[in-house]
Amino acid sequence: MELHVVINGRKDLAGQLYQQLRSAIESGRLAAGTQLPPSRLLAEQLGISRKTISDTYTQLTYENYLTGIVGKGTYVNTRTSALARKQSHSELASHEIIERWRNLPTFLRHPAPDASLRYDFIGGATSKGLFPRDDWRRCTAHALRQTASVMGFYSQAEGLPALRSAIARHIAFSRGVICQDQDVVVCNGAQQALDLIGRVLIQPGSVVAMEDPGYPPARLLFASHGAEVVGVPVDGEGIEVASIPEGTRLIYVTPSHQFPLGMPMSQARREALLARAHALGAIIIEDDYDSEFRYEGRPTDSLQSLDQHGLVAYVGTFSKTLLPELRLGYAILPPAILEAVIRAKQLTDLHTSTLPQWALAKFIDEGCLLKHIRRCHTVYAGRRERILARVADDLSPWLEAVPSTAGFHMVLLCKVEVDVSRLIELAKDVEVGLYGLSEFFYQQAPRAGLFMGFGAIDTLDIDTALDRLRDLLQQVA
């Protein structure tokens, strides 16, 4: 490795080297476990004697800053870094803005691998065991060949043409979305798509309407742009269109699988929403996050396919069909905002990484995505049926399921008074991850219940986990 050390003059060479190495270790610039260059190599680089290097290494080893491993080399020892005090954010001119960001809640954050629970009903997570690794490995090898054949320039902000074309064909087939390749913008997950649309439509004080209960990361994101976010109640048909206020510029909805409750938006409500948006001059974001997994009834077309005025921005993600770690999503944008969003994308991160874009384009074109979705659909359907059977049986004294026909989460409402917060804490002690419903409410009165994801939990673990949930409900209800 190249070690940054500066030797000035020819005086006290060992002292200069000692002070710089010790300071680098104490400040954390040389992290624990870092291997230092061999004494002969460092002596050649610095133009000083090898004995000076060796003596300095010996002194730092004696003081427990370094450790030597026979046959391997000299390494920075594990120790607590004595970092110098830095300026507190409260001393900065922008401290109020910093404090607002520091105090933002973190919703739906997935745990680190070493902090996950044995039986976890977390939402938005998929089963890694279902991921087609061999197909993806082959597509990634294709992607590497593609990237090797082009010059080292930055790519297009809107995404690779091959992936934009593959996405357009896929969603036209699976969701009835009406679009051309040029309408597609590839993003780092659906969250970036929401951010980009918000950037070009929102200024401080702009009114954004969204479902309540709804998706908290979207609400927090729009508010971070300065929007006045209004929570609009939902009923069995979806968002109550008549409650969308005057002056609204942006409307965020999840019509195919209302988040979090799960019911689809009725046809009449969809038509009313489009008419209301047209009257307001507002853009609608249709977040179609997981509706490719449908278990009952006829598939419903996207809201975008009904749009006659170019008002719907359709947002999708591959986090729910493949893996969240891939961070690949997209937006199908109406002409009115397409170029503005592409400029915003270019300004924020230039473009999404091209290697996974090439791989995903190949993955879609070869039919691997549809095959994977069909496989996951069968597994998720079995998990859903098992949870519903238990809710209708021994969990029925306490819980009832909200009717839902798509996705891989469901909501269980409390039929009797239950201390949900205590239930969640007690569940952790028996390795069960539960999540409350109340945090999804904003301005509407929250309802007591559980948000149950079944994408990540193994099918064979569901009964064991629900047995433990039943036992806990007997304690807290």
DSSP-assigned letter for residue 305: G
pLDDT at 275: 98
- The phi and psi torsions of 229 (rounded to 5 degrees) equal -85, 125
pLDDT at 86: 60
- The CATH fold assigned to 113-128+371-476 is Aspartate Aminotransferase, domain 1 (3.90.1150)
pLDDT at 248: 98
Q: The pTM is what?
A: 0.84
pLDDT at 438: 95
Beta carbons within 8 Å of 309's beta carbon, 6+ residues apart: 274, 278
What span, in angstroms and rounded, lies between the C-alpha atoms of 438 and 3? Answer: 53
pLDDT at 273: 98
pLDDT at 414: 97
Closest by CA position to 175, among listed 282, 305, 321, 266: 305
pLDDT at 424: 96
What span, in angstroms and rounded, lies between the C-alpha atoms of 392 and 23? Answer: 64
Give me the long-range contacts of 176-184 (CB less than 8 A, separation at least 24).
176/301, 176/302, 176/305, 177/302, 177/304, 177/305, 177/314, 177/332, 178/304, 178/305, 179/304, 179/314, 179/332, 182/338, 183/332, 183/333, 183/338, 184/158, 184/159, 184/330, 184/331, 184/332
**Residue at token pair 């064909």:** 169
For residues 219 and 210, is the Cβ–Cβ distance under 8 A? yes
Whether CATH 3.20.19.10 fits 132-366 = no
Give the three-state DSSP class for 208: strand
CATH of domain 13-76: 1.10.10.10
DSSP-assigned letter for residue 63: T
What span, in angstroms and rounded, lies between the C-alpha atoms of 250 and 311? Answer: 10
- Per-residue pLDDT tens digits of the chain, which is 477 residues long: 567 777 777 788 888 899 999 988 888 888 888 999 998 888 888 888 999 999 999 999 989 999 988 888 899 988 655 555 566 777 889 988 889 888 888 877 787 776 678 999 999 888 888 999 999 999 999 999 998 887 778 999 999 999 999 999 999 998 999 999 999 999 999 999 999 999 999 999 999 999 999 999 999 999 999 999 999 999 999 999 999 999 999 999 999 999 999 999 999 999 999 999 999 999 999 999 988 888 887 767 899 999 999 999 999 999 989 988 999 999 999 999 999 999 999 999 999 999 999 999 999 999 999 999 999 999 999 999 999 999 999 999 999 999 888 899 999 999 999 999 999 999 999 999 999 999 999 999 999 999 999 999 999 999 999 999 999 999 988
Domain ranges of the chain: 13-76, 113-128+371-476, 132-366
pLDDT at 81: 52
Helices and strands counted in the chain (H then E): 14, 15
The identity of residue 94, as a single letter, is S
